[in-house]
Structure 1
Amino acid sequence: MSAPGRCTPTSSTQNTTQNSGWGSRLLGGIKSATRKNKKRMTISLKNCVLWNPSSDVNTPNHAFHENATVLLTKLCQVYDVYLIIHINSENERSEILGLLENAGVLSQLDDRKILYCSTEQGKVHMIRHIDPQIHVEGGWELDDGEEIVRTLRPHIPKLLWIITRRRRSSFNQAKLKESDQGILGPNVELTDQFMDSSLAREVGLSLSQS
């Protein structure tokens, strides 16, 4: 498992990350090889594409949200996509990688763009370094990603924040808490399902198709 505050690529480049300054060199090389006409997009996989019905984060049982792999595949065709996965153990990492492989997602991605982290700080550091035009956030089992959205909002042109319907209703302007005012902005889109978002509609999908 990666050290606190760090994110690591898949095993094919894991040794590279042990050297000092790995982040700048690795991501710089990946970005330079990317087609310039594709915008960069980072997707935090949990609660966006994956969900975990297990009440124990140490014994996860991940599955895909309905039609999430179809949406992910289409986004990979349009955008330069990086997947960021918050993991709690090496077993969880293997489980998620197996799901992605079985769903055919890995054929759409450079495996160096599947990144793992063990802390929210590590996730933010990786996203800031990739410098995407769009970030999709859903948090993880123990958090909805609020602080990540709050931190990234001044730096990322577009943020899609996937939260529960109940949490989304708390952002109603009529009853907006003062503490929530720093999260919203013209570059932040709220939804309770990835399939019910402007990104899904952009690639020809909608909630009615799920």
Structure 2
Amino acid sequence: MAESTSQSSDPAKGEELRDLVQRFMASLAEFSRRLPFDVDLQKLCSITTLAALAITLAFAWKLLRTPPEQQRRQRRRPSSSPNLSINNLHSDTSLRSSEVCSSSGDSRAQCAVNEFFQPLELALEQLVRRKLNEGRKVTCRLLGVVLDETTPEELQKQATVRSSVLEVLLQIAKFCDVYLMERVLDDESGERVLSALDDSGVFTAGGLIRDKVLFCGTENGRISFVRQLEPDWHVDTNAEIIHQLTRFIKYLLHVTPDRPQNTASNVFISASLEQFFGDLDQR
């Protein structure tokens, strides 16, 4: 009788394993598309990848074979310390996730995949560093990216730093040499921009340097600045400037609410600087 029960459960576990493999490969493909650089999917089938996949499946299969009673006993073990720490909170979160996954084989397979990719919930500093892709110098225009204003004419009246961009900008400055630049119509506009940046605290917080805020009188002047500085990244809102720099700059971020068609492979699109560097899903 027991032997018959064991034989009938083997096909069910086989189905769970096949389902887990399919979900894992789908998640792996999705993860590769989220990276800020192209990945050859054929290379994912290399011997190294297959070995890693085999190890992962072995652990997942062991997890699936754990009797529900044993899993419940493990969850009921009291904590050795009454004080809550970051590790304890992470453990509690994992246990709650395991409870949800124990309802069926399908949900356990999905949960195993989700837990495998749990480290993707990264802090902002880690997200920025990953998106920079080892870049060490960044040039960035001010209008429409760091400032609320979008035209040089507006800078003749006021300059307002966007509060939402400050944290990301300072994180970028931790890893990169950052140059800010803009076209202005008069010297007073430049002083107004510097004053707004100073009031926002970006110079005193570390990373950004006042002397690396550059001003020019034409759009071609900004192109000249970027060509001379030879950054790894340039951020701009002008589609024509992005197009002209495509051949010379490794990575370009076009900040625009639209989705331009037929962009070069080294050009990324985002609605804002903070959205691109703060969101792993942005491409």
Return the TM-score normalized by structure 1: 0.63
Q: Could you tell me which of 205, 214, 218 is aligned with 1:119? A: 218
Q: Could you tell me which of 247, 259, 263 is aligned with 1:154? A: 247
Larger radius of gyration between Structure 1 and Structure 2: 2
Identity, in percent, stands at 22
CA contact (8 A) 2:153 2:185 kept: no
Equivalent-residue separation in structure 2 for 1:110 and 1:58 (angstroms): 21
1:9-158 map, 5 Å: 39-52=136-149, 56-57=153-154, 59-107=156-204, 108-138=207-237, 145-158=238-251
CA contact (8 A) 2:155 2:184 kept: no
Which digits, 9 at most, give the CA deviation of each residue in 1:89-148, with x for residues without a partner? 11111111011111111233233311111111111011000000000112xxxxxx1211
CA contact (8 A) 1:162 1:192 kept: yes
More strand by share: 1
Letter in 2 for 1:131: E
Equivalent-residue separation in structure 1 for 2:199 and 2:245 (angstroms): 32
CA contact (8 A) 2:143 2:150 kept: no
Structure ranking higher on relative contact order (CA contacts 8 Å, 6+ apart): 1
In structure 1, the gaps of 5 or more residues are 1-36, 139-144
Alignment of 1:200 onto 2:278: yes
CA contact (8 A) 1:57 1:88 kept: no
Which digits, 9 at most, give the CA deviation of each residue in 1:41-69, with x for residues without a partner? 10111111102278954643221224111
Letter in 2 for 1:156: I
Partner residue of 2:15? none
Equivalent-residue separation in structure 2 for 1:159 and 1:53 (angstroms): 19
Partner residue of 2:267? 188
Equivalent-residue separation in structure 2 for 1:123 and 1:58 (angstroms): 17
Partner residue of 2:35? none
Sort the Cα spacing of 1:55 and 1:75 in 2 relative to 1 into closer, same or farther, 3 A: closer
Equivalent-residue separation in structure 1 for 2:228 and 2:150 (angstroms): 31
Equivalent-residue separation in structure 1 for 2:153 and 2:215 (angstroms): 20
Letter in 1 for 2:278: A
Letter in 2 for 1:132: P
Equivalent-residue separation in structure 2 for 1:54 and 1:83 (angstroms): 16
Helix, strand or coil for the counterpart of 2:203?
Answer: helix
CA contact (8 A) 1:52 1:60 kept: no
Letter in 1 for 2:192: E
CA contact (8 A) 1:41 1:133 kept: yes
More helix by share: 2
Helix, strand or coil for the counterpart of 1:51?
Answer: coil
Return the TM-score normalized by structure 2: 0.47
Equivalent-residue separation in structure 2 for 1:91 and 1:124 (angstroms): 22
CA contact (8 A) 1:43 1:135 kept: yes
CA contact (8 A) 1:53 1:61 kept: no
Helix, strand or coil for the counterpart of 2:274?
Answer: coil
CA contact (8 A) 1:53 1:62 kept: no
Helix, strand or coil for the counterpart of 2:178?
Answer: strand
